[in-house]
């Protein structure tokens, strides 16, 4: 199994493969044995018969082994000394020349790591890609999970032409290419990888080789680092270097987000603009929909989460977002006004709205959060109303201070109707989404569940009276009520819910009467 480079400690640099790559730049005719998991070293040392050999030292031999354990410890030799341990031999140079060459290689890598450490302290992603590109002699860039370019310090002829958004002043991968990737099995298979790999020339649509590393933050995919093979050939040892640079990229992203300097998810800007009812460019919206795999007419729900102690931020926010990603694949979460907003595409998940509560409950319980959820919406343009509904429900969660960690706007609609305050919703934004769902279901399936439920409530849940009024058999009514319950999961034993449903019927009738 290929290791997850993010879960491992940073390995010693340089490793043997990096040393081999450097030697091949200037020397020919030598041989080497190096496993895929090349050993790394802290320093070099001439072997002179010492017995206390260390695994983090690369030992230098001359023309003969002179008792060195060539089957168990890595080495570099001037002569053709063959052993089972990882090694380089047959370099045919004086020991002093070999020592100087190795010291030069070690120094080059040490200087590079020091440069990366400095960039991680006060540099940015462009600085990182510039340093990495110079070291690897090929252009390097980073895009986020929404295909927005986070860093591209220079362009080289042969690189993909990026699109430019004048509003955000950012470049991003062209939408046509994003759409191609969504249908490309080869590309989709690369997304879960947690190690460096090659995208070959024969893999549409690049037509050039690229070394890539996915940037993972726990279970959260943050984007991808790419090195285009345009100036020089990619080498095996550069895989480890690319993984190291990706680690530094994640450090910079975390550093900037924790310090509040910036965020790295351009899609957040689009969602925040939608929530605030600001104008959103169609290109930005289409990019978000394409990247998320959503459709404009899907059914969405917005949920807002906040620490139960209103004075505190959400603890372990990265852990919470990872849990959300696992529980609601394809959802999008972001912080807005010090609360965590989560947009779930119910259509893509094949999830009924009532299931939302049970899915969120373990996350809220374990992280000591309260939540408020909006009604389902069928258009992202309705996010302003969904946000206000979710906020109202969240505030009610704090006021009730109970073990019901998540309230939906439907749960507290009666409270809103009695105390509307500053929130002003159109009646169809207040009426029960369960009834609106039944009405659409009846229209599409030819059933009569909406009218059946209304009659049942108006008859005060009397089976005989309802059957008589609807002119149907008792067993038919019971069958319909069972189907209704399976579809919308209403607790008709709760008198507040019954009152809310009756008021919702009245509001929906008023709306229908105006048309």
| pLDDT tens per residue, range 343-354 | 999 999 998 888
Q: Is 251 left (phi over 0), alpha (psi -120 to 50) or beta?
A: alpha
What's the pLDDT score for residue 319?
A: 78
Across 305-329, average pLDDT: 78
pLDDT of 33:
96
Q: Which domain holds residue 481?
A: 433-514
Q: Which of these, 431, 276, 408, lies nearest to 344 by C-alpha position?
A: 408
Count other Cβ atoms within 10 Å, centred on residue 137. 15
Residues 340 and 411 in one domain: yes
Q: What is the mean pLDDT of residues 79-96?
A: 94
Answer positive or negative: Cα dihedral of 118, 123, 125, 129: negative
Burial degree of 126 (CB within 10 A; 0-12, 13-18, 19+): middle
Q: How confident is the model at residue 248 (pLDDT cuts 50, 70, 90)?
A: very high
Shared domain for 279 and 325, answered yes or no, is: yes
Q: Which residues of 27-56 are buried (b: 16+ CB within 10 A; e: fewer)?
A: eeebebebeeebbbbeebeebeeeeeeeee
| C-alpha to C-alpha distance for 73 and 52, rounded to whole angstroms | 11
With beta carbons less than 8 A apart as the criterion, state whether 237 and 250 touch: no
- pLDDT per residue over 182-202, tens digit each? 778 888 899 999 999 999 877
- The reply to whether 55 and 197 lie within a common domain is no
Question: Looking at residue 505, which CATH number applies to its domain?
Answer: 1.10.10.2840
Confidence of residue 1 (pLDDT cuts 50, 70, 90): very low
4 belongs to a structural domain: no
* CATH number of domain containing 230: 3.30.450.40
Q: Quick check: pTM over 0.85? A: no
Task: Indicate the pLDDT class of residue 470, thresholds 50, 70 and 90.
Answer: very high
**Where among 426, 448, 480 does a domain terminate?**
426
1 burial level (CB within 10 Å; 0-12, 13-18, 19+): exposed
Question: 3-class SS at 417?
Answer: helix
Q: Is residue 419 part of a domain?
A: yes
> Is residue 27 assigned to a domain?
yes
The dihedral sign for the CA sequence 103, 104, 107, 108: negative
The pLDDT of 52-74, averaged and rounded, is 94
- Look-up of token digits 């009756």: 502
CA 176 to chain centre: 21
Q: Same domain, yes or no, for 384 and 338?
A: yes
The confidence score (pLDDT) of residue 429 equals: 80
Residues 109 and 140 in one domain: no
CB 14, CB 113: distance < 8 Å: no
Share of the chain above pLDDT 90, in %: 52
pLDDT tens digits along 348-385 = 999 888 888 889 989 988 888 999 999 999 889 899 99
Cβ contact 241:17 at 8 Å: no
Looking at 259, 276, 300, which one is the last position of a domain?
Answer: 259
Which of 444, 507, 441 has its CA nearest to residue 452?
Answer: 441
Under the banding of pLDDT at 50, 70 and 90, the label for residue 513 is low
Q: Is residue 10 part of a domain?
A: no
d(CA 484, CA 282): 39
Residue 493 lies in a domain: yes
CA separation for the pair 503, 410 (Å, rounded)? 12
**Hey, what's the torsion of the CAs at 67, 71, 76, 82, to 10 degrees?**
90
pLDDT tens digits, residue range 485-500?
999 888 899 888 899 8
pLDDT: which is higher, 163 or 421: 163
- Among residues 118, 146, 165, the one where a domain terminates is 118
Give the pairing of strands 140-144 and 149-151.
Answer: antiparallel
Q: How confident is the model at residue 246 (pLDDT cuts 50, 70, 90)?
A: very high
| Mean pLDDT, residues 210-225 | 92
Shared domain for 270 and 319, answered yes or no, is yes
Assess whether pLDDT exceeds 70 at residue 118.
yes
Answer whether residue 6 is part of any domain. no
* Mean pLDDT computed over every residue of the chain: 88
- The answer to whether residue 1 sits within a structural domain is no
Q: 235 and 192 in one domain?
A: yes
Residues 147 and 280 in one domain: no
Considering the domain architecture, whether residues 191 and 223 belong to the same structural domain is answered as: yes
Structural contact between residues 206 and 199, judged by C-beta atoms closer than 8 angstroms? yes
Residues 244, 165 share a domain? yes
What is the reported pLDDT for 314? Answer: 67
Q: What would the pLDDT profile of 22-35 be if each residue is shown by its tens digit?
A: 999 999 999 999 99
Please report which confidence band the pLDDT of residue 7 belongs to, taking 50, 70 and 90 as the band edges. low
pLDDT band at 2 (very low <50, low <70, confident <90, very high): very low
Residue in the block written with tokens 């060539």: 70
Residues of the chain with pLDDT > 70, as a percent, come to 91
Total domains present in the chain: 4
* Burial classification of residue 151, based on how many CB atoms lie within 10 Å of its CB (0-12 exposed, 13-18 middle, 19 or more buried): buried
- Domain holding 270: CATH number? 3.30.70
Are 252 and 280 contained in the same domain?
no
Contact 215, 151 (CB under 8 A): no
Q: What is the mean pLDDT of residues 86-99?
A: 93
**Is 450 part of any domain?**
yes
Q: Is 219 helix (H, G, I), strand (E, B) or coil?
A: coil
- The answer on 395 and 455 residing in a single domain is no
């Amino acid at each position: 199994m290929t290791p997850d480079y993010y879960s491992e400690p940073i390995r010693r640099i340089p490793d043997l493969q990096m040393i081999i790559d450097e030697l091949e730049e200037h020397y020919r005719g030598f041989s080497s044995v190096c496993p895929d998991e090349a050993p790394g070293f802290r320093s070099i040392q001439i072997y002179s018969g010492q017995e206390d050999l260390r695994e983090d030292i690369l030992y230098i031999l001359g023309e003969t082994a002179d008792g060195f354990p060539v089957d168990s410890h890595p080495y570099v030799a001037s002569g053709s000394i063959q052993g089972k341990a990882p090694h380089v031999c047959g370099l045919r140079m004086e020991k002093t020349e070999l020592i100087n060459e190795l010291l030069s290689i070690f120094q080059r890598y040490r200087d590079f790591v020091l440069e990366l450490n400095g960039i991680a302290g006060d540099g940015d992603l462009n600085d990182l890609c510039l340093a990495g590109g110079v070291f690897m002699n090929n252009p390097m860039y980073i895009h986020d999970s929404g295909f927005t370019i986070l860093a591209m310090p220079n362009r080289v002829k042969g690189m993909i032409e990026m699109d430019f958004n004048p509003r955000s002043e950012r470049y991003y991968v062209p939408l046509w290419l994003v759409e191609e990737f969504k249908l490309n099995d080869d590309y989709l298979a690369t997304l879960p990888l947690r190690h460096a790999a090659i995208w070959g020339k024969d893999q549409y649509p690049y037509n050039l080789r690229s070394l890539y590393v996915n940037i993972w933050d726990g279970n959260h995919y943050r984007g991808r680092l790419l090195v285009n093979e345009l100036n020089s050939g990619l080498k095996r040892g550069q895989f480890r270097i690319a993984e190291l640079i990706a680690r530094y990229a994640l450090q910079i992203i975390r550093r900037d987000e924790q310090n509040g300097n910036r965020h790295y998810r351009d899609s957040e800007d689009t969602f925040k603009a939608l929530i605030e009812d600001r104008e959103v460019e169609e290109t930005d919206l289409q990019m978000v929909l394409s990247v998320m795999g959503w459709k404009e007419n899907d059914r969405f729900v917005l949920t807002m989460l906040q620490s139960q102690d209103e004075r505190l931020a959400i603890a372990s926010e990265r852990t919470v977002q990872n849990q959300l990603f696992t529980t609601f694949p394809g959802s999008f979460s972001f912080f807005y006004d010090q609360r965590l907003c989560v947009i779930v595409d119910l259509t893509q998940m094949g999830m009924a709205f009532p299931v939302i509560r049970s899915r969120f409950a373990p996350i809220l319980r374990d992280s000591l959060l309260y939540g408020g959820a909006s009604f389902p919406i069928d258009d992202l343009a309705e996010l302003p109303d969904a946000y206000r509904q979710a906020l109202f429900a969240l505030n009610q969660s704090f006021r009730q201070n109970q073990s019901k960690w998540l309230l939906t706007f439907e749960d507290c609609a009666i409270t809103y109707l009695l105390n509307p305050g500053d929130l002003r919703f159109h009646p169809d934004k207040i009426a029960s989404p369960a009834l609106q769902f039944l009405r659409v279901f009846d229209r599409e399936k030819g059933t009569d569940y909406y009218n059946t439920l209304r009659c049942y409530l108006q008859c005060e849940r009397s089976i005989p009276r309802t059957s008589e009024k609807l002119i149907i058999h008792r067993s038919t009514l019971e069958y319909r009520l069972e189907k209704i319950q399976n579809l919308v999961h209403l607790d008709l034993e709760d008198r507040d819910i019954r009152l809310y449903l009756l008021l919702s019927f009245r509001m929906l009738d008023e709306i229908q009467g105006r048309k």
